[in-house]
A and B are shown apart, each in its own frame.
Chain A
Amino acid sequence: DTGVSQDPRHKITKRGQNVTFRCDPISEHNRLYWYRQTLGQGPEFLTYFQNEAQLEKSRLLSDRFSAERPKGSFSTLEIQRTEQGDSAMYLCASSLAGASTDTQYFGPGTRLTVL
């Protein structure tokens, strides 16, 4: 399967701990997006990269959140000093800029539970 992959699929942590999630996009895709989804809501945009450059960040991305895409391939999303309100599904998507409509394809998500 050559779709978007995310690791881990599930993460349980205690409040105050740091967590890091990884996303591997579809291999030729140069754009990578992070979204967050809480129960009963649609996904909300967090940030996106084109190659290595982080082009947009949402106000939802507080100082405790940092995302990187150092070589323009995989990306990591780190949450420092987790809070119970960070419990959510974290989704990654990728797309190919230069295609006519830049369609985003999503991974399976990482479900975070903060105790």
Chain B
Amino acid sequence: DAKTTQPPSMDCAEGRAANLPCNHSTISGNEYVYWYRQIHSQGPQYIIHGLKNNETNEMASLIITEDRKSSTLILPHATLRDTAVYYCIVRGGYNQGGKLIFGQGTELSVKP
């Protein structure tokens, strides 16, 4: 079973920041938080990952709480093309490799 909980859907106005929450209260010390998104009928697209520090790349920012039990993915200026299902996944690092366990994700609708 997935180790994360996400709201099933969210709306965001175009040009505004989209903040997608994720709860992972049973995360272990060596487990990373990964975010992927999936636009309809395409393969999942990697967005960002982190262990305990906040991370930022050209696509998004990842904010992880100090106790690591939850995180937020931030799309700073959402566009219509960001409409997708967003998956938050917890998995181990290299030595624990292997499968990603996807939950239901959050369906983000960006509206004009």
Residues of A within 8 A of B (CB): 4, 31, 33, 35, 41-45, 48, 50, 55-56, 58, 89, 91, 93, 95, 97-109, 111
Contacting pair B94 A102 (CB below 8 A): yes
Contacting pair B102 A42 (CB below 8 A): yes
Contacting pair B101 A106 (CB below 8 A): no
Can you identify 17 A-B contacts, CB atoms within 8 angstroms? A42-B102, A42-B103, A48-B98, A48-B99, A97-B94, A97-B97, A100-B93, A102-B94, A103-B46, A103-B49, A104-B46, A104-B100, A106-B43, A106-B44, A108-B43, A109-B43, A111-B41
Q: How many A-B residue pairs have CB under 8 A?
A: 65
By beta carbon, the residue of chain A nearest B2 is: A42
Q: Binding site of A, secondary structure by majority: helix, strand, loop or mixed?
A: strand
